[in-house]
């Protein structure tokens, strides 16, 4: 029996041991789905506190309630570790580590490189290695493949390599790991067969593509599509403001067209671990080929300028009340990058708060999901207690994240001036003067 067939049989019988590297918003939901599908799962993370918490059956991810995690830990189906040596017993390893950008906007591949080097040390015949972290086209072939070949393995014969981009949308109540189609590209057809066999146990639909590079490009297209369209509608908001037109009314009316239009909405800027970052991976890769990704560069320029645009709107709104931004009491509602999550990565709220601080404003924030944030110069700010007094003491309340926990009518009833960047407030209700983005 071939090495491939032995692994396929183990996957079919749920005897294969599944390894997940990186137990964050991507890795932990994937680990839970595999464990619920009947596999024994080993999750690895370098954060010992996370590992200890998981081994107690306690979740730190909003999308995975403790009630769902705990039975898997207690039954032995899922355990966490900080040691790559524990992955020596795994038949498959999915890499779900961060791929941020450096300050120069170049890809930071250090987490992937370190993980692959460690996995290569414990790799054995019959192991499947899948990269899920979003990255530039060619990463799987250029970074993962050489490490395994150096160990004397033959990819597609006695080890298998694939790329399958994560599609996790934190806080999404409708789509999770199971019902979101999974794209898979293998280094060889046999690699793809094995990877598809693995993911088909935990995902309802698997989409096969011809190569890892194609799969890498799929992920970048998805997020570039969103980034460019958000950039377009953000610029539309600025133009509508100059023309004294309500951009929200324009979008609502345009959305009445049953074909040829898809609504996107303006906001204070992009945040999260994907959309602000992933398109720049593609832009960086193309620069090496002497090509400028103009749409990506322009969309990034527009989207990253939105926090400054919001601060300008706040300044103008205060001026209309005969107040200066310097010395003003400003309350920011919501610092997570999107509604109903606790993730502040790349959140425009952090830029808005820092810009207001630099203008001399006194800024407090409240977020029902975020207890504290790290601002410029490593300053730690704590979430203020939400109260009538907090709102009433503010010269301006700024809605940055439209969490469903907020009662927007209450905000209007207890505020004097509200700058609403999310179109969250009800129209013409309450005593507050409302300025929309």
CA geometry: angle 366, 371, 375, nearest 5 deg: 80
Which residues, other chains included, contact 117 with Cβ-Cβ below 8 Å and sequence gap of 6+? 147
- Res 167 pLDDT > 80: yes
- Which CATH fold would you assign to the domain 3-210? Rossmann fold (3.40.50)
Dihedral sign from CA coordinates of 47, 49, 50, 54: positive
CA distances from 92 to 10, 95, 387, 406 (A): 11, 10, 50, 43
Which residues, other chains included, contact 171 with Cβ-Cβ below 8 Å and sequence gap of 6+? 62, 63, 338, 339, 340, 341
- Mean pLDDT, residues 294-317: 95
Task: Give me the DSSP letters along 3-36.
Answer: HHHHHHHHHHTT-SEEEEE--STTHHHHHHHHHH
In this predicted structure, what is the pLDDT of residue 385? 95
At which residue do the structure tokens 């300053």 appear?
379
Class level of CATH domain 252-436: alpha beta
Residue 274 known to be catalytic = yes
Return the bridge partners of 373, or none.
381
- Mean pLDDT, residues 382-386: 94
Q: How far apart are CA 93 and CA 22, in angstroms?
A: 11
For the chain, domain boundaries:
3-210, 252-436
In this predicted structure, what is the pLDDT of residue 158? 93
CA distances from 140 to 17, 20, 92, 133 (A): 22, 17, 16, 10
- Mean pLDDT, residues 392-413: 96
- Res 336 pLDDT > 80: yes
pLDDT digits (tens, 9 = 90+) for 186-240: 999 999 999 999 999 999 999 999 999 999 999 999 999 999 999 999 999 999 9
Could you say which of 96, 123, 191, 274 is catalytic?
274
Orientation of helix 247-254 relative to helix 212-242, angle to 10°? 130
């Amino acid at each position: 029996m071939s090495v491939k067939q032995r692994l396929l049989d183990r996957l079919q019988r749920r005897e294969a041991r599944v390894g997940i590297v990186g137990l964050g918003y991507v890795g932990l939901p994937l680990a839970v789905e595999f464990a619920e599908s009947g596999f024994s799962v080993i999750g690895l993370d370098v954060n010992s506190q996370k590992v200890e918490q998981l081994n107690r059956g306690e979740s730190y991810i909003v999308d995975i309630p403790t009630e769902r995690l705990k039975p898997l830990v207690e039954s032995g189906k899922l355990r966490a570790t900080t040691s790559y040596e524990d992955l020596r017993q795994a038949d498959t390893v999915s890499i779900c580590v961060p791929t941020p950008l450096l300050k120069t906007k170049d890809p930071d591949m250090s987490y992937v490189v370190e993980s692959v080097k460690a996995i290569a040390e414990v790799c054995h015949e019959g192991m499947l290695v899948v990269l899920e972290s979003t990255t530039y086209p060619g990463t799987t072939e250029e970074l993962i493949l050489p490490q395994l070949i150096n160990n004397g393995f033959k990819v597609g014969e006695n080890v298998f390599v694939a790329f399958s981009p994560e599609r996790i949308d934190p806080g999404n109540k409708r789509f999770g790991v199971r019902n979101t189609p999974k794209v898979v590209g293998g280094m060889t057809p046999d690699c793809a067969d094995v990877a598809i066999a693995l993911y088909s146990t935990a995902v309802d639909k698997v989409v096969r593509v011809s190569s890892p590079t194609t799969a890498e490009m799929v992920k970048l297209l998805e997020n570039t599509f969103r980034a460019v369209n958000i950039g377009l509608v953000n610029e539309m908001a600025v133009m509508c403001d100059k023309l004294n037109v309500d951009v929200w009314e324009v979008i609502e009316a345009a959305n009445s067209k049953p074909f040829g239009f898809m609504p996107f909405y303006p906001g204070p800027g992009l945040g999260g671990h994907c959309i602000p970052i992933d398109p720049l991976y593609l832009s960086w890769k193309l620069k090496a080929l002497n090509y400028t990704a103009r749409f990506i560069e322009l969309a990034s320029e527009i989207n990253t300028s939105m926090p400054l645009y919001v601060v300008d709107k706040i300044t103008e709104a205060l001026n209309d009340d005969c107040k200066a931004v310097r010395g003003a009491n400003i309350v920011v509602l919501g610092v997570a990058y999107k509604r109903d999550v606790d993730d502040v990565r790349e959140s425009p709220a952090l830029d808005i708060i820092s810009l207001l601080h630099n203008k001399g404003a006194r800024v407090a924030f409240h977020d029902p999901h975020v207890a504290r944030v790290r601002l410029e110069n490593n300053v730690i700010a704590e979430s203020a207690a939400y109260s009538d007094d907090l709102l009433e003491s503010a010269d301006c309340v700024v809605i940055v994240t439209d969490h469903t926990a907020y009662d927007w009518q209450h905000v209007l009833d207890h505020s004097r001036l509200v700058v609403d960047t999310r179109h969250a407030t009800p129209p013409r209700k309450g005593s507050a003067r409302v300025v929309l983005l």
